Amino acid sequence: MDSGIAAVVGAAIGMLGGAGGGWLTVVGQARQQERQRRFDQQHRLEEVRREAYSACISTSKQVSAGWWRLAAQLRTDGSTPDQWEAAASDAHAAWAPFSTAVASVTVVGPGPVADAAEALRRALYELDQAAVAWHEAAREAGHGNLTDFDDRYMAAVTGKREPGRLFQQAARVALNTET
């Protein structure tokens, strides 16, 4: 083989090796970019979930606290219908942010957390209904000392505890913070 042919063959081998190395680099970079994209997407989803779960917990506490203030007013001798109305109004105002937070959780999931949020919403709805019924009966009676309504309200308070606990547990599992 003369030196001209050897040079052409060597150049061809070099060119093929360079092209092959370049191709491997491109493939490797594409894989790395895809891994990074998936990691970033997972990180964003986790952050959105964390915010939605936190909002759900916070707003559920606001709904409970609002109705608890009404119950305290209804139990207090000498409290007035105007005081009851103000407390009921505050509790009603807390419902919309809670309902929105539950809807957000059902969107970002995953399924077990969405189901737990819906169970919590149903439990707080029962609390809401018990408190509203008590408030309406107190307005008719002119006083809040209505044992049957108080008992129904307290049963709803007790009934929301387990769904609240289960929601928090499902959220911890979804966020991989359960130890």
CATH number at residue 126: 1.20.1420.10
Report yes or no on 41 lying in a domain: no
In a domain, 168, yes or no: yes
**Which structural domain, as residue segments, surrounds residue 92?**
51-174
Number of domains forming the structure of the chain: 1
Determine, yes or no, domain membership for 162. yes
Q: What is the pLDDT of residue 165?
A: 97
CA quadruple 75, 79, 81, 86: dihedral positive or negative? Answer: negative
Question: Which pLDDT value is given to residue 25?
Answer: 62
Task: Output the CA–CA distances (angstroms, integers) from residue 90 to 11, 36, 95, 144, in the order listed.
Answer: 82, 46, 9, 18
> What is the predicted pLDDT for the residue at 139?
95
What is the value of pTM for the model shown? 0.81
Q: Is there a domain that residue 22 lies in? A: no
* CB 59, CB 101: distance < 8 Å: yes
Q: Is residue 141 part of a domain?
A: yes
pLDDT at position 20 is 59
User: Dihedral of CA 26/30/33/39: which sign?
Assistant: negative
pLDDT one-digit tens code per residue, 86-103: 999 999 999 999 999 999
Instruction: Using 50 as the pLDDT threshold, list the residues of the chain that sit under it.
Output: none
Domain assignment present for residue 66? The answer is: yes
Judge whether 40 lies within some domain.
no
- pLDDT for the residue 80: 94
124 in any annotated domain: yes
Write out the two tokens for 104: 């957000």
Q: What's the pLDDT at 12?
A: 59
